[in-house]
Amino acid sequence: MPTIGIILGSTRPNRVGDQVARWVLDHASRRTDARFELLDLRDHPLPHLDEPMPPSLGQYQNEHTRRWAETIAAYDGFVIVTPEYNHGIPGVLKNALDFVYAEWNNKALGLVSYGGAGGIRSAEQLRLVAAELQMADVRQQVTLSLFTDFKDFKDFQPGDHHLRSLNAMLDQVIAWASALAPLRTAPVATA
């Protein structure tokens, strides 16, 4: 059974992303075809990328990087819950993605975004980053509007129609995580 990490990509004070991530986790946890865990970036504080070697080499020098690598390696796929800040993803989320490399490879990725325009631009940026990290991002995504899914822009009150998108996205993440499992367990070729 695949294990899927739900990454909460905002660490901002007074963030609304924690409400969204709990909603995703609550509905996902009712499923019996995967295990789901919340990964709040507040619980994994990383400095700005401070590794002397490129992450793609896997030569992590710092203890905080090794801990983050172990955390990410434990999952078969991810759902990232992200706001849109200035037409893009939060810096803390980009930093967390950039810290390690192989640990992201051959894993499925689903996106739940929120913002004035549903966070669509941040989701599109994440798809570009996911491609470079060799992740399989799924087509279905959940887009939440600050205008219609949050009362007074702060209390999350999603419409029931979002559950259809959420479940379809989770179906795809689980299917891709399972399909990619042989690639994650394949021996590494040596030159």
Biggest CA-to-CA distance, the chain: 58
Query: What's the CA angle centered on 180, arms 73 and 99, to 5 degrees?
Result: 30
Q: Would you say residue 109 has pLDDT above 70?
A: yes
Report how far residue 83's alpha carbon sits from residue 121's, in angstroms, rounded to the nearest whole number: 10
Write down all domains in the chain, each with its CATH number in brackets: 3-185 (3.40.50.360)
User: Rounded to two decimals, what is the model's pTM?
Assistant: 0.95
Q: Would you say residue 190 has pLDDT above 60?
A: no
Helices (H), the chain: 17-28, 63-73, 91-99, 120-132, 161-179, 181-185
Cβ atoms of residues 44 and 22 within 8 Å = no
> What's the confidence (pLDDT) of residue 188?
56
The pLDDT tens digits for 23-77 are 999 999 999 999 999 999 999 999 999 999 999 999 999 999 999 999 999 999 9
